[in-house]
């Protein structure tokens, strides 16, 4: 499924004010997504204003926009017009006088995108609260939303003084991925799966985002975040909420986000024991896909004394009627042997396999892939030789690509005034609450920082492969 088509909001002249315009996020993800959105004709009257502390001029800024649009295959007269009219303003967005100067360059309905670190976002929002915003302004914030539960709550209080909650779009681009959104269609439009997605039939749920990429020059952000905050606290918890929530009456923002909030409020570390049920590791030197990677601690810009993890695992409990007793195992890692980006629902074995059937040793699994985007089902059937010997077969269906890349989808939501694909303020705080015991345990040093060679499957004691019967109760 995709989000709703553009509404009348799209035809109102709008300005996208991009704070942090010279950063990596803008060039790599945001501007390509914007280019694809513009090229579709969904935003026929859009002005783009970029701002950063670097002393760029309009010409250099337009080159960046042109290059980012081209990288996404966004061309044509609409994209060219956005580039032509785009402007760049050098500013310190924590200073009120600079913000007033920025706002004066904008016209029509205003959308402000904070492509900034959490602390700068909070300071900029506080300055905007002192000077005020034009009516109808919408705010887009890039994760992480704060640096812990306290700062997330403080940021929410500042934002509430600026605009109503419905006009705050906390961006988690995973919610713009067509496959992630398709979880809703898979679950609630099919009688086959939904009746068995509960603790009576499901043994465990794994949500994994392993990648072969290393740091890739992102030390400035990543070395202060690490895998737990960068991926688990945000993206993977959002996927968990979609898999575990009950059916909403509608897909309106209020209903859908309300169901997600219920799940996250019920989520905690398994057995309330972050020492037993979390792992942290970082990569050492190695080879990935024929490419030699240095150890993480030797990557440019990394402070080895921080002890930043590049692989994080945590096991969570969802204390609802549907899921009580089912472990949700979340993992994300860098510089691993292969890509694995999927949610896997592993079903319990049947109460009894009739005597005479042989070969049954693998449980049924439902797999939802995030890259490549596909649905898989692993089931046991009678094999082609001995009819009493069971083999597991893998049924696969590819999802069609969405109309837009993830950032294009979430931008469209902000331009159309639809917060369905954004993170609500209370759930942003709950995501920090869920991982807080793990972060505290790691900072206290009671969970050792393991190591694994780049290009390996990761550390040998992964929580994804517990011994049979290891997880009992919650």
Distance CA 321, CA 315 (A): 18
Cβ contact 162:133 at 8 Å = yes
Distance CA 87, CA 108 (A): 15
The phi and psi torsions of 389 (rounded to 5 degrees) equal: -100, 120
> What is the CB neighbour count within 10 angstroms for residue 289?
11
Distance CA 259, CA 65 (A): 38
Give 80's contacts (C-beta < 8 A, 6+ positions apart): none
Distance CA 19, CA 102 (A): 10
Q: How far apart are the first and last CA of the chain?
A: 35
Give 429's contacts (C-beta < 8 A, 6+ positions apart): 149, 152, 153, 156
Q: How far is CA 393 from CA 357, 382, 383, 386, 422, in A?
A: 16, 10, 9, 15, 37
Cβ contact 14:415 at 8 Å = yes
The phi and psi torsions of 124 (rounded to 5 degrees) equal: -65, -40
Cβ contact 315:287 at 8 Å = no
Tokens 């020492």 found at: 275
CA 398, 178, 164: angle at the middle one, nearest 5? 170
Return the bridge partners of 450, or none.
Answer: 281
Cβ contact 279:287 at 8 Å = no
Distance CA 51, CA 94 (A): 12
> What is the CB neighbour count within 10 angstroms for residue 287?
14
CA 11, 142, 130: angle at the middle one, nearest 5? 80
> What is the CB neighbour count within 10 angstroms for residue 189?
10
Distance CA 151, CA 237 (A): 19
Q: Which among 419, 405, 431 is positioned nearest to 140, based on CA atoms?
A: 419
Q: What positions carry a catalytic annotation? A: 235
Positive or negative, the CA dihedral 297, 118, 17, 255 is positive
> What is the CB neighbour count within 10 angstroms for residue 89?
19
């Amino acid at each position: 499924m995709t989000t709703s088509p553009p509404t009348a909001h799209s035809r109102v002249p709008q300005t996208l004010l991009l704070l942090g315009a010279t950063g990596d996020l803008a060039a790599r993800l945001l501007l390509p997504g914007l280019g694809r959105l513009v090229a579709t004709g969904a935003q026929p009257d859009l002005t783009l204003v970029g701002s950063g502390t670097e002393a760029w001029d309009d010409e250099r800024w337009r080159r960046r926009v042109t290059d980012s649009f081209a990288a996404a295959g966004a061309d044509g007269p609409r994209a060219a017009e956005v580039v032509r009219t785009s402007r760049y303003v050098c500013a310190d967005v924590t200073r009120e006088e600079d913000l007033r100067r920025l706002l004066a360059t904008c016209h029509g309905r205003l959308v402000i995108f904070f492509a900034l670190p959490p602390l700068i976002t909070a300071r900029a929002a506080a300055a905007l609260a002192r000077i005020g915003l034009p009516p109808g302004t919408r705010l887009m914030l890039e994760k992480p939303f704060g640096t812990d539960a306290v700062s997330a709550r403080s940021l929410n209080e500042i934002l509430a003084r600026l605009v109503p909650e419905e006009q705050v779009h906390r961006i988690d681009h995973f919610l713009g991925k067509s496959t992630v959104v398709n979880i809703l269609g898979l679950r609630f439009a099919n009688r086959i799966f939904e009746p068995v997605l509960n603790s009576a039939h499901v043994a465990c749920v794994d949500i994994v985002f392993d990648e072969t990429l290393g740091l890739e020059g992102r030390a400035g952000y990543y070395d202060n975040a690490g895998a737990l905050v960068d991926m688990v606290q945000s993206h993977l918890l959002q996927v968990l909420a979609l898999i575990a929530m009950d059916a909403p009456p509608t897909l309106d923002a209020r209903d859908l986000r309300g169901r997600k909030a219920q799940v996250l409020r019920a989520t905690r570390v398994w057995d309330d024991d972050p020492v037993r049920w979390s792992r942290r590791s970082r990569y050492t030197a190695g080879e990935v896909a024929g490419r030699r990677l240095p150890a993480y601690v030797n990557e440019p810009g990394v402070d080895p004394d921080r002890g930043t993890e590049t692989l994080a695992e945590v096991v969570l409990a969802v204390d609802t009627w549907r899921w009580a007793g089912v472990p949700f195992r979340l993992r994300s890692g860098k510089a691993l042997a292969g890509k694995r980006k999927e949610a896997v629902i592993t079903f319990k074995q049947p109460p009894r396999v009739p005597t005479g059937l042989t070969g049954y040793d693998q449980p049924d699994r439902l797999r939802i892939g995030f890259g490549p985007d596909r649905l898989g089902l692993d089931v046991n059937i009678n094999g082609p030789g001995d009819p009493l010997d069971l083999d597991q077969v893998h049924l696969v269906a590819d999802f069609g690509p969405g109309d837009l890349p993830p950032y294009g989808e979430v931008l469209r939501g902000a331009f159309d005034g639809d917060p369905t694909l954004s993170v609500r303020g209370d759930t942003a705080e709950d995501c920090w609450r869920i991982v807080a015991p793990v972060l505290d345990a790691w900072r206290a040093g009671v969970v050792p920082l393991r190591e694994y060679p780049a290009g390996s499957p990761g550390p040998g004691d992964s929580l994804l492969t517990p011994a049979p019967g290891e997880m009992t109760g919650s």
